Amino acid sequence: MVEDKWIGLALACSSSLAIGTSFIITKKGLNDAARRGPTSQSASDNLSYLKNPIWWAGMTTLIVGEVANFAAYTFAPPILVTPLGALSVLIGAVLASILLHEELGHIGRVGCALCLLGSIIIVLHAPEDKEIQTVDEILQYALQPGFLMYILLVTVWSLFAIYRLVPLYGKKTPLVYISICSLVGSVSVMAIKGFGVAVKLTLAGNNQLTHPSTWVFGIVVGSCIAVQMNYFNKALDTFSTNVVNPMYYVGFSTATILASALLFRGFNTTDPTNTVSLITGFIVTFLGVHLLNASRQQQQQTHSGSLDEEDVAWANPPASAGGHTRRSSSLYRFDPEIIRSEANGVPLEEVREESDEEGDERTRLHRGGRGHSGSARGSRQGSRDRLGSVRI
């Protein structure tokens, strides 16, 4: 008989694989919906991704992964399951490079590693949840002042971010979308825990469906997941997957640990080693997030710089040492003699094209004429005599 621990480990690994893959499929669905929709709006703005089958395939894969993750907590302790969520970030980064052709520079890779390392340190030294026997017991924990204050802060921040920060900074930094997803997601995890206990006890013969708290948790789960997925899709649609995935993992893990500690009143620890480790984990995590943002800004600056160089190249064709363009770029040189000849009825094919040496002479005379207009006028007349006038 296989131990429950190994069953939970297998479910956790399968969950990470499914969730990491779902991020990529969802991103491809958003890109496909954006190509098919109006160019003035993104797929997440007009909700056109809801009609895209690729996006639904990604969401189905995500649901399968979340169900496996939920089942893993049933067989294995959270201290084993939660750190394995980092595998979804690694899988998402690898698949994004292969399927979405998204690049993650050296700084980004270091930031990703720091995010994962810091999150694992936090999870390993965070307090474990208490065992719950009834759904009403979770409701009693949720009505404690500490957790109620957390719910209030999450609600206030989410509303402020949705109505104030998203219109101003939603397209500039992923932190706005990720903060909403992480905080609302942490509340959904606590509600899922309560609803899951109710389902588990009901299947075991102790009917919890008659308890109003069961349906309260169910409504909270549905509402939080709807908000969480909406702004997570906006983050994926706007920013690189290699940036969104690690930041979402860091924010979601941190908020979930904090919410769990407040709900079950288990954050206090008497071991100084755990306290130092928790602080170290937070510092390492925040450094990783900073490096990820720095790598994203560096990529944007590099991309915009290359576009500017292309524009300059089109606007300014290559010049020779003499100061004017080569014969291959003679279309950029306008000769006033040719214009006057055409105006006087001389066919263009009879007009002699000047050589490079004559062009150098014309450029030198033109530059000299800026400071001495009188002498330049005579020089230009002499130059016309040497080159041969075609005017009738």
Burial zone of 181 (CB within 10 Å; 0-12 exposed, 13-18 middle, 19+ buried): buried
The pLDDT of residue 41 is 59
d(CA 105, CA 38): 32
Residue ranges per domain, the chain? 1-102, 128-268, 338-387
The pLDDT of residue 329 is 39
Dihedral (Cα; 33, 38, 43, 49), 10-degree rounding: -40
The pLDDT of residue 84 is 73
Model confidence at 314: pLDDT above 50: no
Is the sign of the CA dihedral 18, 22, 23, 25 positive or negative?
positive
Tokens of 291: 């490096």
Q: Can you spell out the DSSP letters for 140-185?
A: HHHTSHHHHHHHHHHHHHHHHIIIIIHHHHTTT-THHHHHHHHHHH
Tokens of 302: 């590099």
The pLDDT of residue 340 is 46
Q: How far apart are the first and last CA of the chain?
A: 107
Nearest to 190 by CA among 213, 158, 161: 213
Model confidence at 10: pLDDT above 60: yes
Q: Rounded mean pLDDT of the chain?
A: 73
**pLDDT tens string 128-185:** 556 677 788 888 888 889 899 999 999 999 999 999 999 998 888 889 999 999 999 8
Residue at token pair 């595998």: 87
pTM higher than 0.75 = no
Mean pLDDT calculated for residue range 306-332: 44
State residue 39 phi and psi, 5-degree precision: -75, -20
d(CA 337, CA 389): 8
Identity of the residue numbered 180: I
d(CA 114, CA 313): 40
The pLDDT of residue 149 is 95
Tokens of 152: 């209030």
Residue at token pair 């990720």: 178
d(CA 219, CA 180): 19
Return the SS3 of 325. Answer: strand
- pLDDT class of 327 with cuts at 50, 70, 90: very low
Mean pLDDT calculated for residue range 77-96: 71
Model confidence at 260: pLDDT above 70: yes
Tokens of 127: 């307090």
Residue at token pair 């297998």: 10
**pLDDT tens string 43-67:** 556 567 788 888 899 889 989 998 8
Interhelix angle 241-263/272-315, nearest 10 degrees: 160
- pLDDT class of 342 with cuts at 50, 70, 90: very low
